[in-house]
Structure 1
Amino acid sequence: MKLLINEWRKYLKKTRNAIIIPIILLLILIVYFSTMHSVITHTSHLISKDDSDRVFLYSITVCYKFINFISIIYASNILSSEISKGTVKFILTRPYQRYKILLAKIAAITILMSVFLIISVIICLLIQMLTIHQIPEISIVLKYTGIYSIFILAITIFFTAFALMLSSVFNSSALITGSCIVYYFFASGLWRLINFFYLHLPEDGWIYKLSPLNVNSYLIELISKTVDQSVQSEFFIILAANIVYALIFFLIATLIFRRRDISLSN
């Protein structure tokens, strides 16, 4: 618990990020809702319930993509910057096992992104009420918030564990951030090319779906489908595989971090 509190203190001390990031999201949402209000009012005189629900869904999608990017940036720097600056040595002087240090970092950033999502939902409802003058039902709000909460948790835990694994080997925050961004946007496309030219696996087969390059993107695709249809058993299999890969990344990071001589870092 002390490690978790210490991690939260680090985030709270970064007042510039704590102010700038919400302001950027707020401006994006204001532009979005203003645009949607203009579009709806020019196409129809009355705003229907479906229009209100759709506007809210798209606003949550905007928040989700923004939070994903922020979580990747935070995860990429959560350990590598401390190692490169040497500040991690102060934590290692305390009687904490190294896997607990890494686990506290994953828990801290996961909770932070979850809180950020809740705040984003509240902001979306307030702006929608001021611009559209109509908000969705509570059941719709809870449904979409729950779906995108799973989005955020899956992305944050997976990429934080992946970033910690890279951070345990490399000191460069830029390298780790770039690797995480490339993994997030291009891993599934890379896997598709590899399969097309070399492996020729059926894309509806489990070997193709459960590849570490594809499992995260496929999980996001399945979660997106739950907006309009019920949850399928395939979703839980892919979610379990995503968790397993995150655990593998975490175990590798722990093994390397335990044996690494931090005193050699600059």
Structure 2
Amino acid sequence: MKLLINEWRKYLKNTRSAIIIPIILFLILIIYFCTVNLFVTHTSKSISAENSNDVFLISIMICYKFINFISIIYASNVLSSEISKGTIKFILTRPYQRYKILLAKIAAITLLMPVFLIISVIICLLLQILTIHHMPEFSIIIKYIEIHGLFILAITIFFSTFALMLSSMFNSSALVTGSCIVYYFFASGLWATINYFYFHLPEDGWIYKLNPLNVNSYLIELMADAIEKPVQSEFFITLAANIAYALIFFLVATLIFRRRDISLSN
């Protein structure tokens, strides 16, 4: 618990990210809702209940994408920056096992992102009331929060463990951050290319869908379906695969981090 509290203190002391990141998201949401308001005003169309739900859905998707990107940035720097600066040595002087240090870092980021989502939802609702003067249905609000919150947790845990695995190998924060961003945006396309030229696996097969390069993209596709349809068993299988890969990344990170000589860091 002390390690988790210390990690939270680091985020709170980092005033630059604590102020700039919410402001950027707030400005993006203002631009979006003002654009919707101008469109409604110039077309002289009133917003129906269904359209209000769609407006809220798009705003939540904006927040979802933004929070995913921020979680990757946080996870990429949570260990690699401490190793490169040498500050990790102060933590290692305390009687904590190394796997607990890594676990505290994952837990801190994982708990931070849903809080960020809830705050973003409140901002979205306020902006929607002020601009288009229509509230989405309460059941829709709860449904969208549950779906996107669950996916934010899954993506955050996956990339946190992946970033920690890379950070346990390399000192460079830029290398870890760049690798995570490339993985997030281009992994599924890379897997599709590799499969097309070498493996020729059917795209509707489990081996293709649950490949570690493709599992996150497929999870996002299932999220889009879950918004309109009931959750299928395929969703839980993919989520379980995502968690399994995260556990593998964490085990590899722990094994490397336990045997690494931190005194060699700059």
Q: Give TM-score scaled by structure 2 length.
A: 0.99
Cα offsets for 1:183-239 (capped at 9, x unmatched): 000000000000000000011111111111111111111111100001111111010
Alignment check: 8 A CA contact 1:41 1:47 kept: no
Q: Distance in 2 between matches of 1:47 and 1:63?
A: 22
Q: Distance in 2 between matches of 1:44 and 1:198?
A: 55
Is residue 241 from structure 1 mapped to residue 234 from structure 2 by the alignment? no
Aligned to 1:196: 196
Which amino acid counterpart does residue 227 of structure 2 have in structure 1?
V
Which amino acid counterpart does residue 235 of structure 1 have in structure 2?
F
Q: Distance in 1 between matches of 2:109 and 2:195?
A: 34
Which amino acid counterpart does residue 210 of structure 1 have in structure 2?
L
Alignment check: 8 A CA contact 1:80 1:167 kept: yes
Which residues of 2 match residues 11-22 of structure 1 at below 5 A?
Answer: 11-22=11-22
Aligned pair count?
A: 266
- Paired residue secondary structure (1:202): coil
Which residues of 2 match residues 20-59 of structure 1 at below 5 A?
Answer: 20-59=20-59
Q: What residue ranges of structure 2 are gaps of 5+ in the alignment?
A: none
Which amino acid counterpart does residue 97 of structure 1 have in structure 2?
Q
Q: Percent identity?
A: 79
- Paired residue secondary structure (2:227): coil
Aligned to 2:169: 169
Aligned to 2:158: 158
- Paired residue secondary structure (1:211): coil
Which amino acid counterpart does residue 231 of structure 2 have in structure 1?
V
Q: Distance in 1 between matches of 2:43 and 2:238?
A: 41
Q: Distance in 2 between matches of 1:81 and 1:5?
A: 19
Which amino acid counterpart does residue 24 of structure 1 have in structure 2?
I
Q: Distance in 1 between matches of 2:45 and 2:206?
A: 49
Which residues of 2 match residues 118-133 of structure 1 at below 5 A?
Answer: 118-133=118-133
Query: What is the Cα deviation at residue 41 of structure 1?
Result: 2.7
Aligned to 2:185: 185
Which residues of 2 match residues 64-213 of structure 1 at below 5 A?
Answer: 64-213=64-213
Which amino acid counterpart does residue 26 of structure 2 have in structure 1?
L
Alignment check: 8 A CA contact 1:168 1:253 kept: yes
Alignment check: 8 A CA contact 1:187 1:213 kept: yes
Query: What is the Cα deviation at residue 45 of structure 1?
Result: 2.9
Cα offsets for 1:27-83 (capped at 9, x unmatched): 110010000111123334311001110100000001111111111100000000000
Cα offsets for 1:229-265 (capped at 9, x unmatched): 0111111101000000000000000000000000110
Q: Give TM-score scaled by structure 1 length.
A: 0.99
Which amino acid counterpart does residue 4 of structure 1 have in structure 2?
L
